[in-house]
Amino acid sequence: MKVPMKPFSAMGKFLLTMLVIGATLMWITFVYFYYSLPEQIITKFSFKGEPLNYGSKISLWFFPVSFSITPLLIFFLSIFRFSIFNKAPYIMNLPAFYTNLNKMPLEQQSIWLNKAFEIVLIIGNAVTYLLLALEYGTLVGIKTQELPSWYVPAVFLLPILLVPLVIWLLYRLNKKMEKEIE
């Protein structure tokens, strides 16, 4: 039994658009800084934000290329969510979600699959904008020869804060699904 395709809600479309904007901003930020930097740049900072090593600015291509992988992956997973889920539902690997989904009529399954992927898009946006901030902070640090004061705390704290957000969003989704099934 396949879950019928249904378009994202307004929130899902907004989140998908924000994901694309974030990925685009990564490249715009990179291009803006890249062409204003000298050939030799700082390639490594200490924990205090002080320069340690220098090298070629070509190494900066790492940022937009590697940081674009996450938003691109989430974008394509979201666009092809029904095809992926219908062919390989085990990929979702959320047992409570999958169990509850099978208890619903097909029309409702589409809605809840979209809600699950809206959570994926929230997480994708959080990661994308975190990577954008890290790219920006690093490039500002290279340009000014000192990392911004917010950079080191952001590198350590924001990923840690993302974990409870993910757990809370999935818990909330599961509780809402259970309530609808009752």
pLDDT at position 92? 67
Residue 33 lies in a domain: yes
Q: Is 171 contained in some domain?
A: yes
Write out residues in the chain with pLDDT < 70, as ranges.
1, 89-96, 98
pLDDT reported for residue 50: 79
Considering the entire predicted model, what is its pTM?
0.85
Q: What is the pLDDT of residue 57?
A: 92
Tell me whether residue 125 is in a domain.
yes
Structural domain boundaries, residue 19: 10-181
**120 token code pair:** 């994926």
Based on its alpha-carbon atoms, the radius of gyration of the chain, rounded to whole angstroms, reads 20
Q: Which pLDDT score, from 0 to 100, does residue 5 have?
A: 86
Is 5 inside a domain boundary?
no
Q: Is residue 162 part of a domain?
A: yes
For residue 4, being part of any structural domain is answered with no
The pLDDT of residue 94 is: 66
Number of domains making up the chain: 1
CA distance 155 to 70: 17
**Residue 178 to residue 2: CA distance in whole angstroms:** 21
- In the prediction, which pLDDT does 15 show? 96
Q: What is the pLDDT of residue 113?
A: 86
Tell me whether residue 57 is in a domain. yes
| In a domain? residue 3 | no
Tell me what pLDDT residue 104 has: 82
